[in-house]
A = this chain, B = another copy of it.
Amino acid sequence: MHGVPRRRRCRLGFQFVTAPTRAKLADGRELLFFSLPGHTPSPVADRRPLPPRQPCQSQLRFDRTTGQWVIIAALRQDRTYKPPPDQCPLCPGPTGMTSEVPAPDYDVVVFENRFPSLSGEGESALRVSEGFASAPGHGRCEVICFSSNHTGSFADLEPAHARLVVDAWRQRTADLMARPGIEQVFCFENRGEEIGVTLSHPHGQIYGYPYLTPRTSAMLGQADEHRKLNGSNLFADLLAWELADGSRVIARTDLFTAFVPFAARWPVEVHIYPNRFVHNVVELEPGELDDFAQVYLDVLRRFDRMYSAPLPYMSALHQFADTDAQREGYFHVELMSIRRSAVALKYLAASESAMDAFISDVTPEDVAQRLRELA
């Protein structure tokens, strides 16, 4: 699969108006600044006495009962856990002594995670050996700070700033997809202490997995089957059916659509699809990028109007490579929340956690109606 991403990488010169400004952290990790027009980042030296980076310490283990890889990353047990606000490692650090971002300010910044679940460059394909099968936990874990404003959130961003985050996602996706051994690039955000977020500064993460994740494999399998039976793309058909039905659509532009899916698993779940088939954010055209940022902000702002406190949520960008194996993959975002009422959360207990059998306490149509009214 290397040919395709490499070609894509070559196109970056004209796809991204401004290349990121690059810097290095004290232990050698990469740091990339993405800036709004007219802003020029001015990184300072990272003068923290960080211990040298360890070679990849995590391991992939193959679970033969499910056919899925599990990442064992014991070093993460010691990661930074809910630091006080004046020690936030994601706020700008003009002295180069206090932060992961040694600079007086920034718009959007991406850097390699200091406590990565996956690191280092691996083989181009994992193989499952006999018996207990394992492999080094190669791959990439990055942090993306959406804003230097510690108390802000993605939903608070100005549209141009949200669009800059989308540009950063594109640049990172193109870069990581081109690397050997990375099979899938996953841009995501976990927001809220309720889902275990240990740093409250608005940020997301970007993973380069060395294998296709189980959910992605399942989706591609379903889409291949659908193509065989119907001669059409599964996700395009789903979008068309949702539009024809209309009862779960919550927002729509000429280029993007947001809806609660028919078989939603979560008490709040919204999917955002481009109206045109593309595999990933890199393939989006400028007008689509604008609409994507606009619809994404619209959905997040509706989320935060649902209850008196900001909604905890997870946001997952489902991206695919333009390869034979992933040909049917249709880029879309899946947003979900565990909040099922003002006072109660949805927990993934034994039915969900042990059997993958999801039980939802709300009807998707009711949730869509509620979200439509929160415009």
Chain A residues with CB under 8 Å of chain B are: 61-74, 76-77, 81, 117, 131-132, 186, 188-190, 195-197, 205, 207, 209, 213-216, 218-219, 221-223, 226, 234-235, 238, 241, 245, 261-265, 314-316, 318, 334, 336, 340-341, 344-351, 353-364, 366
- Nearest-neighbour CB distance to chain B for A137, whole angstroms, equals 9
Copies of this chain per assembly: 2
| A–B Cβ pairs within 8 angstroms, 10 of them | A62-B263, A64-B238, A66-B218, A66-B219, A67-B221, A71-B359, A77-B340, A186-B350, A188-B351, A207-B357
* A62-B263, A132-B262 known; A350+B218 contact, CB < 8 A: no
How far is it, in angstroms, between the C-alpha of A340 and the C-alpha of B356 when the chains are bound? 21
User: Shortest CB–CB separation between residue A326 and chain B, in angstroms?
Assistant: 14
Chain B residues positioned under 8 Å from A366 (CB to CB): 74
Contact A218 B263 (CB under 8 A): no
Contact B77 A188 (CB under 8 A): no
A271 to B, closest residue via Cβ: B65
Instruction: Name A130's closest neighbour in chain B (CB-CB).
Output: B230
Q: Contact at A316–B354, with CB atoms within 8 Å?
A: yes
A63 vs chain B, min Cβ distance (A) = 4
- Identify the closest chain B residue to A219 (Cβ): B65
In the bound complex, do residue B263 and residue A213 qualify as a contact, i.e. CB atoms below 8 Å apart? no
Q: In the assembled complex, which residues on chain B have CB atoms less than 8 Å from the CB atom of A195?
A: 347, 349
Give which listed residue, B213, B357, B362, contacts A356 with CB less than 8 A. B213
Best-buried of A238, A241, A262 by chain B (most CB within 10 Å): A262
Does A358 contact B262, Cβ atoms closer than 8 Å? no
Contacts of A241 in B (CB 8 A): 131-132
A337 to chain B, nearest CB (A): 11
Residue of B nearest to A58 (CB): B359
Chain B residues with Cβ below 8 Å from A61 are 262-263
A363–B66 touching, CB < 8 Å? no
Best-buried of A241, A261, A359 by chain B (most CB within 10 Å): A359
Interchain CA distance A359-B344 in the complex, whole Å? 26
Q: Is A362's CB under 8 angstroms from B221's CB?
A: no
Residues of B within 8 A of A235 (CB): 65
A265 CB, min distance to chain B CBs, angstroms: 5
B74 touches A355 (CB 8 A): no
Minimal beta-carbon separation of A83 from chain B (angstroms)? 14
Q: Output the least CB separation between A276 and chain B (Å).
A: 18
Contact of A358 among B71, B218, B238 (CB under 8 A): B71
Q: A315-B350, A350-B188, A359-B117 are in contact. Are A70 and B265 (CB under 8 A)?
A: yes
Chain B hits for A347, CB < 8 A: 195-196
Q: With the chains together, A344 CA to B265 CA distance in Å?
A: 26
User: Which residues on the B side are within 8 Å of A205 (C-beta)?
Assistant: 350
- Interchain CA distance A213-B190 in the complex, whole Å: 27
- Contact between B196 and A362, CB atoms less than 8 A apart: no
Residue from A64, A207, A350 with most neighbouring chain B CB atoms (10 Å): A350
Partner of A264, one of B62, B67, B70, B223: B70
Closest Cβ of chain B to A21, distance in Å, is 28
The interface residues of chain B lying within 8 Å CB-to-CB of A238 are: 64-65
Smallest CB-CB A-B distances: 9 pairs = A196-B347, A316-B354, A213-B355, A214-B356, A63-B263, A61-B263, A188-B350, A213-B357, A190-B349
Given A214-B355, A357-B213, A314 and B70 touching (CB < 8 A)? no
Q: A137: nearest residue on chain B (CB-CB)?
A: B359
